[in-house]
Amino acid sequence: MTRSIEERIKARAYALGFDLVGIAALGPAETASAFARWLAAGYAGEMAYLARGAGKRADTRLPVTGAKSAVVVALDYGGKSPDGPVARYARGDDYHDVMLERLNELHRFIEVEVGAPVPGKAYVDTGPILERDLARKAGLGWFGKNTNLINPKLGSYFFLGELLLDLELPPDAPFDAEHCGSCRACLDACPTQAFVAPGVLDASRCISYLTIELKGEIPEAFHGTIAEGGHIYGCDVCQEVCPWNVKFAREVTEPRFAPRPVIAGKDARTLATEILAMSEDEFRGAFNGSAMKRAKLAGLRRNVAVVAANPRRPWPVRTDAPSR
């Protein structure tokens, strides 16, 4: 029996290493109005780029002219790895590169299967697309109270990507159920109380934002919390306590997401000491192809200075660490 085109696409996506795959029809984004309210409330902090392309974010047909369907994928990055000073997603190679390479390979496969060029484009966390919206529409999971997409067999330690195509494909059923129930584990565990309501994150209070996206100095009100947790780059607390991750988180299986030597097995103190001693060239060499380059060496030194000032375990720290 000949398999349908959507079955062949999904089989190829799994063969490329993706852990989840679904298909969604493009159109108005269900969460566009909620996203607009979130921006208006100032919860994006300094991430002004999120307001750009607002019109395109409101309708997934707009980023790629003529696009009709999206193949939405997820790739696990290993939630069972031990806690550490760097969020799990950033310990290996940059996920943008890994995901885009595979999505582009999937695009080429589709064109071969169809027997003609198929206009389209792959996106991973960089285009004017409400990715969780598409992922839920493609049946990959529900929105957790910590705002992450949660899959009932995988948890939430995964990256999302999508391939927008000028191709009519039968969509999968959306994921309409919500399985958080009365659980508040993520909300209550957040070190900086960044959740103003279930499913609503004030990013300007989030440790991931403060240690990665924020360009200036970290507000002093958050220093103690960041220092106590040893958060040099990012934070996984709201995912660590989620029962779905406690039960279903996996070991790292993708070699490119394995922690690189500069990070592997190091506690905050060890990593901080090494970062402070790095030259710009050494930083570029150690973090080449890493998502951590986003913070730049000056940003990591800023974070290290905050972590090292832990009043319970003060460390010697350079006073001339440059600001960004």
Catalytic residues: 125
Q: Are residues 28 and 158 in the same domain?
A: yes
Residue 162's H or E segment, with its range, is strand 158-165
In degrees, rounded to 5, the angle at the alpha carbon of residue 98 between the alpha carbons of residues 94 and 104 is 140
Q: Which of 100, 131, 165 is the last residue of a domain?
A: 165
pTM value is 0.94
- What is residue 304's predicted lDDT score, i.e. its pLDDT? 95
Domain assignment of residue 320, yes or no: no
Ranges of beta strands (E only) in 9-114 are: 20-25, 69-76
CA distances 205 to 51, 298, 310, 311, Å, are 19, 21, 19, 21
Q: Are residues 301 and 201 in the same domain?
A: yes
- What is residue 40's predicted lDDT score, i.e. its pLDDT? 96
Six-digit token string for 225? 């919390």
Number of domains forming the structure of the chain: 2
Domain assignment of residue 178, yes or no: no
Q: Are residues 150 and 33 in the same domain?
A: yes
**189-224 pLDDT tens trace:** 999 999 999 999 999 999 999 999 999 999 999 999
**149-181 pLDDT tens trace:** 999 999 999 999 999 999 999 999 999 999 999
Q: Are residues 198 and 161 in the same domain?
A: no
What mean pLDDT is predicted for residues 264-280?
94
Q: Are residues 149 and 22 in the same domain?
A: yes
Q: For the chain, give the percent of residues with pLDDT over 90.
A: 93
Domain assignment of residue 217, yes or no: yes
Domain assignment of residue 218, yes or no: yes
Q: Are residues 135 and 18 in the same domain?
A: yes
**52-77 pLDDT tens trace:** 888 899 999 999 999 999 999 999 99
- What is residue 131's predicted lDDT score, i.e. its pLDDT? 97
Can you give the residue range of the structural domain that contains 295?
Answer: 185-308
Six-digit token string for 203? 């990013």
Domain assignment of residue 94, yes or no: yes
Q: Are residues 255 and 108 in the same domain?
A: no
Q: Are residues 40 and 141 in the same domain?
A: yes
- In the block, which residue shows the tokens 């169809």? 114
How many Å from the N-terminal Cα to the C-terminal Cα in the chain? 60
**253-271 pLDDT tens trace:** 999 999 999 999 999 999 9
Q: Are residues 98 and 190 in the same domain?
A: no
Domain assignment of residue 318, yes or no: no
Q: Which of 165, 193, 228 is the last residue of a domain?
A: 165
| pLDDT classification of 321: cutoffs 50, 70, 90 | very low
Q: Are residues 115 and 192 in the same domain?
A: no
Q: Are residues 37 and 133 in the same domain?
A: yes
Between strands 200-201 and 20-25, the pairing is: unpaired
What mean pLDDT is predicted for residues 238-256?
97
- What is residue 315's predicted lDDT score, i.e. its pLDDT? 56
For residue 71, which amino acid is it? V
Q: Are residues 193 and 294 in the same domain?
A: yes
| pLDDT classification of 250: cutoffs 50, 70, 90 | very high
What mean pLDDT is predicted for residues 90-108?
98
Domain assignment of residue 322, yes or no: no
Contact 14, 124 (CB under 8 A): no
Angle, in degrees to the nearest 10, between helices 296-308 and 268-277: 130
Six-digit token string for 6? 């959507």
**5-33 pLDDT tens trace:** 999 999 999 999 999 999 999 999 999 99
| pLDDT classification of 313: cutoffs 50, 70, 90 | low
Domain assignment of residue 313, yes or no: no
Mean of all residue pLDDT scores within the chain: 94
